[in-house]
Amino acid sequence: MSAYKILVVDDEAKMRRLLEILLKQMGHEVYQADNGIKALKILNEQSVDLIITDLKMPQLDGLGLSRKLHEQNSDIPVIVITAYGTVETAVEAMKYGACDYIVRPFELETVEAAVKRTLRLTTVQRENQYLRQEVEKGWGNFIGMSPAIQQVYTLIKQVAPTKTSVFIQGETGTGKELVAREIHRASPRAKSLFVALNCAAIPADIMESELFGYSKGAFTGANKEHRGKFELADHGTLFLDEITEMDINLQAKLLRVLQERTLEKLGSNQTITVDIRIIAASNKDPRQAVQEQKLREDLFYRLNVFSIELPPLRERQGDIITLAQYFIEKHALDIGYPVPAPLLSESAIEYLKAYSWPGNVREMENIMERAVVLSMGKTIDVSHLPGEIINTIKQTSATPPDIQQFDNLVLQDQVEELEKKLIKQALLKTADNKAKAAQLLQISERSLWYKVKKYF
Q: Does residue 146 lie within any of the structural domains? A: no
Q: How far is Cα 435 from Cα 448, in angstroms, rounded to an integer? A: 9
Segments of the chain with pLDDT less than 50: 134-140, 394-404
- The pLDDT of residue 402 is 43
Summarize pLDDT for 229-273 with one digit per residue, the tens. Answer: 999 999 999 999 999 999 999 999 999 999 999 998 888 888 889
Instruction: Say if residue 92 is in the same domain as residue 193.
Output: no
How is 122-164 classified by DSSP, letter by letter? HHHHHHHHHHHHHHHH---------HHHHHHHHHHHHHTTS--
Amino acid at 379: T
Contact 16, 32 (CB under 8 A): yes
Instruction: Say if residue 250 is in the same domain as residue 305.
Output: yes
Where a domain ends, among 286, 310, 334?
310
Helix (H) or strand (E) holding 94: helix 87-95
Instruction: Say if residue 394 is in the same domain as residue 434.
Output: no
- The pLDDT of residue 371 is 94
Q: Does residue 298 lie within any of the structural domains? A: yes
- The pLDDT of residue 407 is 58
Summarize pLDDT for 131-152 with one digit per residue, the tens. Answer: 555 444 433 457 788 888 889 9
- The pLDDT of residue 401 is 40
Instruction: Say if residue 71 is in the same domain as residue 165.
Output: no
- The pLDDT of residue 38 is 92
- The pLDDT of residue 311 is 92
For residue 428, the domain's CATH number is 1.10.10
Q: Does residue 95 lie within any of the structural domains? A: yes
Contact 265, 212 (CB under 8 A): yes
Q: Which domain holds residue 444?
A: 409-456
Instruction: Say if residue 373 is in the same domain as residue 434.
Output: no
- The pLDDT of residue 248 is 93
- The pLDDT of residue 136 is 43
Q: How far is Cα 48 from Cα 76, in angstroms, rounded to an integer? A: 7
Instruction: Say if residue 336 is in the same domain as residue 275.
Output: no
Instruction: Say if residue 159 is in the same domain as residue 298.
Output: yes
Separation in Å, CA 417 to CA 43, 222, 385, 423, 432: 76, 66, 17, 10, 19
Instruction: Say if residue 452 is in the same domain as residue 353.
Output: no
Q: How far is Cα 239 from Cα 281, in angstroms, rounded to an integer? A: 8
Which residues, 6+ apart, have CB-to-CB distance to 364 below 8 Å? Answer: 313, 320, 323, 324, 327, 357
For residue 77, the domain's CATH number is 3.40.50.2300
- The pLDDT of residue 393 is 65
Instruction: Say if residue 304 is in the same domain as residue 184.
Output: yes
Strand bridging mode 271-273 / 262-264: antiparallel
Number of domains in the chain: 4
- The pLDDT of residue 399 is 44
- The pLDDT of residue 6 is 93
Instruction: Say if residue 382 is in the same domain as residue 427.
Output: no
- The pLDDT of residue 237 is 96
Q: Does residue 116 lie within any of the structural domains? A: yes
Q: How far is Cα 391 from Cα 401, in angstroms, rounded to an integer? A: 14
Summarize pLDDT for 91-113 with one digit per residue, the tens. Answer: 777 777 778 888 888 888 989 99
Instruction: Say if residue 98 is in the same domain as residue 181.
Output: no
Q: What are phi and psi of 331, to 5 degrees?
A: -80, -30
